[in-house]
Structure 1
Amino acid sequence: MTSETGYGDFEFERRFYVRGLPDDLRDDPTPTLIVQSYFLAVDGYAMRLRVQADGIVLDPNADLDAARVLDAYADRFDFCALTVKGPEAGGTRYEAEREIDVHVGVEMMRRGGARIVKNRYSAWLGTDGWVVDVFAGCNRGLVIAECERGAPVTDLTIPAFCVTEVTGDRRFANETLAHAPFPTWQHVFAAELAAQGPRFASGFGTNTLASPLA
C-alpha cells in the first residue's frame, strides 16, 4: 500500500506473533482469502504477485496446497497486484504496488513463484486498524498481527493477544515463509520465546500493553 502522507512508496508497520485468531477479530464478516507468489526473495528484496477475494474462509488446520487453493478459487478472485519491496528497517519498508488484471495474475502465479496462502481478518482496535493473518497450507499454525499506519508506528497500544513482537525478524517475512515454512523452524522459535520471554521493541516511542478483556 502506498502512503498518502508525503512518504511516497513506503509502508510503516509493526508485526506480532499471536497464538490463534483473537476473539476481537472473529466478528469480521468478510475475511479475505489471499494467495501470494514470490518471484524474487533475496536479502530483503522481493517481487510479489497477490490475488485476493473476500468472504472465503479456509480451514487453518487442513493440509492445503496453495496451488490447489489458487485453482479452486480462480474465478472468485477480484483483485490482483504486483508489488516490489525493499529491505525492512526499523518498521519501515519500501513498497511500490500496481494493480494488474486478475486473469493475467492468476496465470502468472500458476507458472512460477513460491506461494503462501492465508486468511486476513481486520478490525479497528482503539484508534488503529489491525489485521491478523491466519496462515494455511505449509505455514498452518502461524498467526501474525500487524498494525500499519501512513507514518511510523510509534506510541502504540499493543492488544493483549500479541504474544511477542517480530518486527524486523526476517524469518516471519512472507517471502521468507514461502521458502522456509514456519513448521520447519517453529521449535527453534518456541525455545527462544521460552528462554527470553516476550519482547516488544523499544525504539518506537512508548508501548502500552493492553490488559486482557475481563
Structure 2
Amino acid sequence: MSDTGYGDFEFERKFVCAGLPEIVAAEADPVLIVQAYLLADEGYAVRVRVQGPGAGLTAADLGRTDEVLDELAPRVEFAALTAKGPHVGGTRYEAERELDPGVAVELVRRGRHHVVKLRHAVWLGDDGWVIDEFAGANAPLVVAECERGGPVVDLVVPDFCVSEVTADARFGNEHLAVEPYSTWRSTFERELAVTGPVFSQEFGQNRLPSQG
C-alpha cells in the first residue's frame, strides 16, 4: 500500500517511443520481465509477474515465452500477483502481493496471455522513468512511463517521447498480452500520421527538457 495517502492507487503517464532511447540503450542492467494475465476484461486485470536480471540482453534475444521462463526461473529476483482496475485520468487502482518465485514461475507458465519485456530505468530531472522494450509479438514497441506517488502534473516530457498514450487502452500490458502490437501497429501508425503527436492537456503544463 502506498504511504502517500492515496492507498492502493498508482499515478502514471505513458508515452510511445520511436525506439529505445540512447540514454538507456547502453544500460548494463535492464530487468527481464515475464508476466501472464489470468484476467483481462474492460480494464480490470489480474497479473502474475516474475523478473530477474537482463544484463547483456536485447528484445531481439528473447524467443518463445517458455524458453525465456526456463532461462529466468533460477534467477528470479521478484515475483508478485497484482490486481488492477481501469485507468481513470492517469490514475489506476493496483494492489500487489509478493509470491514465492517457484510458484509464480509455474503460474506464469500456465497462463494463456503473456508479455515479455526488458525494463530500463533512468532518472531525468525530478522524475524516475521506466522504458519498456517489448519482445516477441509486441516488438518493436517501446513505451516510456513516468510514475509518481501522486498525480503526474507539470511533467517535463523527454524528447524521446513521440506521443502520449496514457488514455489509450491498447497500450495497456493486459491488452498487449491478448492483442499484441504487431497485429495493430499499422493502424496506430496511420492514426499517428493523421493526428500527429498528442500530449494530454489534463495534467497541467507539459514542458520540454529545455524548459525544465
Q: Shorter chain as normaliser: what TM range?
A: over 0.9
Q: Tell me the amino acid that sits aligned with residue 55 of structure 1.
A: G
| Mapping for residues 5-154 of structure 1, pairs under 5 Å | 5-61=4-60, 64-154=63-153
Deviation of residue 60 (structure 1)? Answer: 2.0
Distance 1:57 1:74 in 2: 17
Alignment RMSD (CA, Å): 1.3
Deviation of residue 108 (structure 1)? Answer: 1.4
| SS state at 1:191 partner | helix
Residue by residue, what CA displacement relative to the aligned partner does 1:51-89 show, whole Å, maximum 9, x if unpaired?
A: 000234433235722222112221111210000000001
Residue range with higher mean Cα deviation, 109-118 or 96-105: 109-118
2:31/2:52 contact within 8 Å kept: yes
Q: How many residues align?
A: 210
Q: Tell me the amino acid that sits aligned with residue 15 of structure 2.
A: F
Deviation of residue 28 (structure 1)? Answer: 3.2
1:28/1:123 contact within 8 Å kept: no
Partner of 1:185: 184
Residue range with higher mean Cα deviation, 70-79 or 136-145: 70-79
Deviation of residue 3 (structure 1)? Answer: 2.4
Residue range with higher mean Cα deviation, 90-99 or 21-30: 21-30
Distance 1:91 1:58 in 2: 31
| Bigger fraction of residues in helix | 2
Q: Tell me the amino acid that sits aligned with residue 26 of structure 1.
A: A
Residue by residue, what CA displacement relative to the aligned partner does 1:147-200 show, whole Å, maximum 9, x if unpaired?
A: 000000000000000000000100000000001000110000000000000000
Structure 2: any 5+ residue segments left out of the alignment? none
Distance 1:118 1:49 in 2: 14
Q: Tell me the amino acid that sits aligned with residue 93 of structure 2.
A: Y
